[in-house]
A = this chain, B = another copy of it.
């Protein structure tokens, strides 16, 4: 699975936003998603690990998950060339409003 598919899943985006606040143990993340079972969350975390979006370090019997800085950058790199499209569009809109 690649980064785009990893991020396409709403639950995984939720996990990413939780880890953006601060690093958390697997158990805390499970508790943050009461609609899912522990194995389901564990599988999502595995996907995030394997796509390089998060990293883990052991702390006794706990696993502490943290957001990896450069994971999402690959998506940003892809989107960068397209950014001019809506930027140009907004510029044109602004110009139009100023002309009135």
Contact = CB atoms under 8 A, between A and B. Distances in A.
Interface of A: 4-5, 7-8, 13, 16, 20, 67, 69-70, 72-73, 75-76, 78-79, 81-83, 85-86, 88-89
A18 to B, nearest CB: 12
Contacts of A5: 8
A20 B73 contact: no
Contacts of A20: 81-82, 85
A72 B42 CA distance: 30
Contact of A69 (B16, B76, B85): B85
A73 B82 CA distance: 9
Contact of A83 (B16, B76, B78): B76
